[in-house]
Amino acid sequence: MHPATAAIADLVASITPWDPLEQEHIDRTLAWLASTDDIYRRVPPAVPATHLVAYVVLVDPVDRGVFLGVHRKSGLHLPMGGHVDPGEPPPAAARREALEELGIHPEFDVVGDGPLLLTVTPVTLPQPHTDVSFWYVARGHRDRSYSLDPAEFDGGRWWDLDPGTLPDTDPHLSRFLAKLHHHAAAGR
């Protein structure tokens, strides 16, 4: 295993699964990493067919909000983030994406600087592929507006942390919010 791939496998193995689905995603990701070193997207949108993504979820833990942008390509309300560049560690990708898409240097102090969640998501458009996504939590402030990259997003807004109030979004966002709530309740 290439050292960069081994470092990613260590990061995946360090994530405590929230539910059986996350455990399945962790196991699947570790098996994938053991089978290949071709883990970074080289040719958009789908080469290789499975590749790494880093989400940066802007959360206001005090005023209980999550900031989502209207993603131009998917039409979904999504956290900021994107593909991990070849050789780039996922935490560095999360920081880069926050700077590119939000114009901020993120503070990863809500739950720590590691990813809170790992998901494996099949994507069908524009070409079928699979995103293996690390979900990082960055501190935001609900009373502040954030300027999103207009090439990526058609505006954004704050949503309550209640999963019942969410718009069309990533299929795993409600699980992310449940795990985030659990961490907050546990005082972590």
The model's pLDDT over 111-136, given as tens digits with 9 standing for 90+, comes to 999 999 999 999 887 889 999 999 99
Place of tokens 């791939």: 5
Number of domains observed in the structure of the chain: 1
What average pLDDT does this structure show over 47-67? Answer: 94
131-183 per-position pLDDT tens digit: 999 999 999 999 988 889 999 999 999 999 876 778 899 999 999 999 998 88
pLDDT in tens, 73-100: 888 999 999 999 999 999 999 999 999 9
Give the CATH number for residue 144. 3.90.79.10
**What is the spatial distance between Cα 93 and Cα 56, in angstroms, rounded to a whole number?**
9
pLDDT, tens digit (0-9, with 9 covering 90-100), for 148-162? 999 999 999 999 987
pTM to 2 decimal places: 0.94
- The sign of the CA dihedral 108, 135, 43, 171 is negative
Q: How many angstroms separate the Cα of 81 from the Cα of each of 59, 63, 88, 102?
A: 14, 23, 14, 10
Residue 56: pLDDT band with limits 50, 70, 90: very high
Q: What pLDDT does 117 receive? A: 97
Tokens of 107: 């503070």
Range of the domain at 51: 3-186
Instruction: Using alpha carbons, list the distances in angstroms from residue 15 to 40, 112, 136, 145, 152.
Output: 20, 12, 12, 31, 29
Q: Tell me: pLDDT of 188 over 60.
A: no
Q: 104: helix, coil or strand?
A: coil
**The pLDDT of residue 101:** 93
